């Protein structure tokens, strides 16, 4: 049996059996077959913005990018935590090209403030990683009236990405990577109630629904911006031992801890999607461990074309973003921080 055939059969088996495929065991098996090995150093001036960058997968991705020579913008809610993370990453990577950016992705006002400043000051952006996410233990609404997980995982990234398009266009060929979750396989898009206000609050289910939304939006961006020089990709990192899992899923972590990936393993596909040749040639797909995966496992989770468009239109309406708005204006402002 050829090496390629063998690796394909092993990969599919791991993927469909879920537990071994999403664990560190799946990562260790698959990485033995990766022909491209470690990514090469990036061109001078290559820049990336990573949200949720102060800990976990976001911080691990920032460190990997820094080691490759990238200029890394670390987007965080809390400057102090961000600066602590920046110092640690700088020491380990030997890079001084790390900058802390402050923005609360769950706040549309904060996203508008930051994006206006960034587009005016930074010029080109070569990759955007929408990694920040939250799974609240109770139903919480932001000051702007949005359910917190929807605001953080869907609406904020939707607005941020669209408002950073001028910088991404200047950096083309550029890429956007949306960090989703394998949990999205359990959920069907509820287009008529995106914030699930008519459902009893269920943290994992609400989180998984937002991750379903992220994958669909990735596909829609890829369709809308085909030929723009910006490619869009979604991925899931597998099961990782991160601060978010420790806080939101303590029982799951206690049960699965021996099998959980570390943050660096979880971040591998993010960095590969941002820097390797193959992903740019296959936009709009859903990836795990450097391979494209199906977006549905069972037929009843599939959404209609009308529901997909409804998701896009509702995100645009709620965020106040319009495709006809033109370039993001530059407005002077000061950093905003949140706890």
Active-site annotation, residues: 207
Query: Is-contact 126 171, C-beta < 8 A?
Result: yes
**Sequential DSSP letters for 41-80:** PPPTT-EEEEESTTSHHHHHHHHHHHHTT-EEEEEES-HH
β-bridge mates for residue 48, sequence order: 72, 127
Write out the H or E segment, with its range, that includes residue 169: helix 165-170
3 state SS of 88? helix
Q: Are 205 and 187 in contact (CB under 8 A)?
A: yes
Q: Residue 256 contacts by C-beta under 8 Å, 6 or more apart in sequence?
A: 23, 239
Contact 201, 141 (CB under 8 A): no
**Token output for 276:** 């390797």
User: How far apart, in whole angstroms, are the C-alpha atoms of residue 62 and residue 66?
Assistant: 6
Residues 236 and 181: their CA atoms lie apart, in Å, by 5
Q: Which two tokens stand for residue 3?
A: 């090496």
**Residue 230 and residue 161 in contact, taking contact as beta carbons nearer than 8 Å:** no
């Amino acid at each position: 049996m050829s090496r390629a055939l063998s690796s394909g059969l092993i990969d599919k088996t791991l993927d469909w059996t879920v537990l071994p495929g999403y664990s560190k065991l799946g990562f260790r098996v698959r990485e033995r077959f990766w022909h491209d090995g470690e990514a090469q150093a990036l061109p001078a001036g290559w820049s990336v913005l990573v949200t949720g960058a102060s800990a976990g997968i976001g911080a691990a991705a920032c460190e990997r990018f820094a080691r490759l020579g990238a200029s890394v913008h670390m987007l965080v809610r809390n400057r102090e935590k961000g600066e602590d993370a920046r110092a640690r990453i700088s020491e380990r990577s030997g890079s001084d090209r790390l900058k802390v950016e402050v923005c609360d992705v769950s706040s549309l006002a904060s996203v508008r403030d930051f994006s206006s400043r960034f587009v005016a000051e930074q010029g080109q952006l070569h990759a955007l990683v929408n990694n920040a996410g939250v799974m609240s233990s109770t139903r919480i609404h932001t000051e702007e009236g949005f359910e917190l997980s929807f605001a953080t995982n869907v609406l904020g990234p939707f607005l941020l990405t669209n408002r950073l398009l001028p910088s991404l266009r200047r950096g083309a060929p550029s890429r956007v990577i949306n960090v989703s979750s394998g949990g999205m396989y359990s959920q069907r898009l509820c287009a008529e109630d995106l914030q699930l206000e008519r459902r009893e609050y269920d943290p994992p289910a609400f989180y998984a629904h937002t991750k379903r939304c992220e994958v669909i939006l990735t596909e829609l961006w890829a369709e809308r911006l085909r030929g723009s020089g910006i490619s869009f990709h979604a991925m899931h990192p597998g099961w990782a031992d991160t601060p978010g899992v420790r806080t939101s899923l303590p029982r799951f972590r206690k049960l699965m801890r021996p099998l959980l990936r570390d943050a660096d393993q979880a971040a591998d596909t993010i960095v590969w999607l941002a820097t390797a040749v193959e992903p740019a040639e296959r936009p709009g797909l859903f990836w795990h461990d450097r391979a494209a995966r199906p977006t549905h496992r069972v037929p009843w989770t599939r959404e209609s074309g009308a529901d997909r468009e409804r998701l896009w239109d509702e995100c645009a309406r709620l965020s106040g973003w319009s495709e006809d708005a033109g370039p993001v204006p530059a407005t002077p402002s000061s950093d905003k921080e949140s706890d």
